[in-house]
Structure 1
């Protein structure tokens, strides 16, 4: 499918579980195996900015925030067919604008190879910071 030129960005959560699953699968994300959970997670997130090419979900970013000081961008995902068109950067720019009055806007790239992308968009590495997590594999 040949992408068109005009990408629409919206905070309306109008995507379906099937559209989300297709997007995550297109990018090779393991989360694609759990489309209903991913969709519910998106619906429960404070902010989801999605990128649309007509009725095609081209990408999305989600953030979780505390309403005042801290917002955390958790996912930025772009369909490979739309890479190189600045869709990811536009998703992040929408988040930066939405959370401009917060003290902190943070992102934790799940892969270190993605850090330069965020650095180009104004993020800096946290001094002596380390990402930590607990994975409850049995809950997948």
Structure 2
């Protein structure tokens, strides 16, 4: 299996919906919003198995001080193959000169992000106002 990594912001709605629902993220129920979100992201890297979207990472950034990695997802049948790690590496390299690279990790993913070089903030708590299931 040869995975191709691409920088792009344009996706078919169905591609995004299938990817997000494959990992049971409720944002997959809003494919129009996901499509707009990718277009409005500062950077998006995607992973492809031929014509199948199998992974994605996006970043919201000012390009200088802060890079906020919002989404990182890989289809379950492609997990454990280094795709997520490669997507994170691409993003870290892209924003290597930014003073702060930040993300919010689900508890069961903390080990993965630590292996990617992220640390848990001391005395910091993520906060939300959202209608999505978190």
- 2:60 equivalent in structure 1: 64
TM-score scaled to structure 2, two decimals?
0.94
Distance in 2, Cα, partners of 1:121 & 1:75:
15
**Deviations along 1:90-117, whole A, 9 cap, x unmatched?**
11000000000111111111x2111111
**Deviations along 1:41-79, whole A, 9 cap, x unmatched?**
111100110001110001000000012110000110001
Distance in 2, Cα, partners of 1:15 & 1:8:
15
Distance in 2, Cα, partners of 1:85 & 1:67:
30
- 2:107 equivalent in structure 1: 112
TM-superposed deviation, 1:15: 2.1
Q: Secondary structure at the match of 2:53?
A: strand
TM-superposed deviation, 1:12: 1.8
CA contact (8 A) 1:15 1:57 kept: no
Q: Secondary structure at the match of 2:77?
A: helix
TM-score scaled to structure 1, two decimals?
0.90
CA contact (8 A) 2:9 2:41 kept: no
Matches within 5 A, 1:122-133: 122-133=117-128
CA contact (8 A) 2:23 2:73 kept: yes
TM-superposed deviation, 1:122: 0.5
Distance in 1, Cα, partners of 2:68 & 2:10:
22
Where does structure 2 lack aligned partners over 5 or more consecutive residues?
Answer: none
Distance in 2, Cα, partners of 1:89 & 1:14:
22
Distance in 2, Cα, partners of 1:101 & 1:68:
7
How many aligned residue pairs are there? 132
Distance in 1, Cα, partners of 2:31 & 2:72:
16
CA contact (8 A) 1:69 1:103 kept: yes
